Amino acid sequence: MDFDLSESQNMLLDTAKKFLEKEAKGLARQVEKTDAGYSPELWQKIAELGWIGLVFPEQYGGIEGTFQDLVLLVEEMGKAVFPGPFTTTAISGLSILDHGNSSQKDAFIPALTDGELIISPALIKPDPLMNESIVHDQASMKNGKYLLSGTRLFVPFGHVAGRFIYEADTDKGKTLFLIDAGNPGIRCLPLDSIAGDKPCEVVLEGVEVSEEDIIGTPGKAEKIIKQINTRGALLESAYICGMLEQVLKMTVEYANEREQFGDKIGALQCIQHQCADMATDTDQVKFLTYEAAWKLSKGLPADKEVSMAKSWASDASRRVCLLGVKIHGGTGVMEEHDMQIYFRKAKAEELAFGDGDFHREIVATQLGL
């Protein structure tokens, strides 16, 4: 048993803290108003720092860290609400590493770790009851090529992705493709959202792809998708964990400064109890996330642990941010204060890769129910 970080993890986080403090202050607020929604310059810088390549082998430009290292780094990013396609690019890259063939790995992973290529999972199919007028899923064969049509929603940073991970139901069953985002049959529309983080609607109409674009064995997409979703859920938990740590810090600082009725509001037991609840919730997220990350890093089964982490993180993200807003009083509700950015972002993170209800259901199943 050891709750401490390793020396190399401490070094990684030390660099990350310094970098994010220097470069990412106020960034989330700035990029929200830009078309890109993130900073391409900083993206290059974090590639140079080796962050994008963190979990990849050296031969592909990576630095061979563990998944646990990645979780810790994402937690730091969460503290700064660092915007960008970091987690989704990392998990997309990992599925190529795990399931791609060698020419796919050679073609895409070095470009990814270099910061040149953003890959985004485009896996969420629209609920037909939400809107009827959509391009429906279709996959046919023509001259040995696949012709794909379909609509995918909430694709993270789809508008800047070079490739999409896309699943289609082919003659061989559910098959995963790595699709060139520049294909003329693809339309990508960023959606205005509560967190300003540009989830996209991606529409494919008669997009021609070949067998070389298939990741893994045709007909065996489901297992890979599940892995993407598991990793995604855990990295979101880590990001939420960082956000909540920062919200707690900000809030405690504020409560210890703000005076009303001749005393710091932080001296009021009701405020102390609220802060104590925030701290406890945050630590619950943290240790559930760490344990699941440890299991994933060891290659142990971790479905239950990941879902425990994400279910707690999803709901804690709301609870903790709401208390943070309340303790800041009117100030916390104002546009110009950072508190509201965390509050809005918390909603997006809560939803990404499954909300609390979704993951509690998985935990229940894992319990044999």
Ligand X SMILES: Cc1cc2nc3c(=O)[nH]c(=O)nc-3n(C[C@H](O)[C@H](O)[C@H](O)COP(=O)(O)OP(=O)(O)OC[C@H]3O[C@@H](n4cnc5c(N)ncnc54)[C@H](O)[C@@H]3O)c2cc1C
Binding mask 57-96 for other proteins (x = CB under 8 A): ----------------------------------------
Quick check: 204 and 138 in contact, CB under 8 A? no
Using a 10 angstrom Cβ sphere, with 0-12 exposed, 13-18 middle and 19 or more buried, the burial of residue 254 is: buried
* Pair type for strands 214-215 and 173-180: antiparallel
211 or 263: whose CB is closer to ligand X?
263
| Cβ atoms of 323 and 278 closer than 8 Å | yes
Pick one of other proteins, ligand X, none as the site partner of residue 125 (Cβ within 5 to 8 A by kind). Answer: none
Q: Which partner, ligand X, other proteins, none, binds residue 127 by CB below 5 to 8 Å per kind?
A: other proteins
**Cβ nearer to ligand X, comparing 264 with 304:** 264
For other proteins, the closer of residues 184 and 329 by Cβ is: 329
Q: How far is the CB of 198 from ligand X (least distance, A)?
A: 27
How is residue 264 written in tokens?
């710091």
CA atoms within 13 A on the CB side of 188: 24
> Which stretch in 35-43, 109-117, 256-264, 277-285 sits in contact with other proteins by CB under 8 A?
256-264
Place of tokens 């967190």: 195
| Subset of 104-143 contacting ligand X (CB under 6 A) | none
Residues in CB range of 306: below 8 A, 6 or more apart: 230, 233, 234, 237, 292, 296, 359
Residue 47 main-chain phi, psi, to 5 deg: -65, -45
Q: Site map for ligand X, 253-282, x if CB under 6 A? A: -----x-xx---x--x-xx-----------
Residues 92/227, Cβ–Cβ less than 8 Å: no
Distance spanning both ends of the chain, measured CA to CA: 30
Question: Apex CA 85: angle with CA 205 and CA 120, to 5°?
Answer: 30
Window 304-333: residues binding other proteins (CB under 8 A): 318, 322, 325-326, 329-330, 332-333
Residues 321-340 vs ligand X: string with x where CB under 6 A? -----xx-xxx-x-------
x/- string (CB under 8 A) for other proteins, residues 131-150? x-------------------
| Residue 3 touches other proteins, criterion: CB under 8 A | no
The structure tokens 């993407």 sit at 228
* CA–CA distances in Å: residue 278 to residues 38, 82, 322: 29, 21, 10
Binding residues for ligand X, rule: CB under 6 A, are: 258, 260-261, 265, 268, 270-271, 326-327, 329-331, 333
Binding residues for other proteins, rule: CB under 8 A, are: 124, 126-127, 129-131, 153-154, 191-195, 199, 201, 259-262, 268, 270-271, 318, 322, 325-326, 329-330, 332-336, 340, 343-344, 347-348, 351, 355, 357
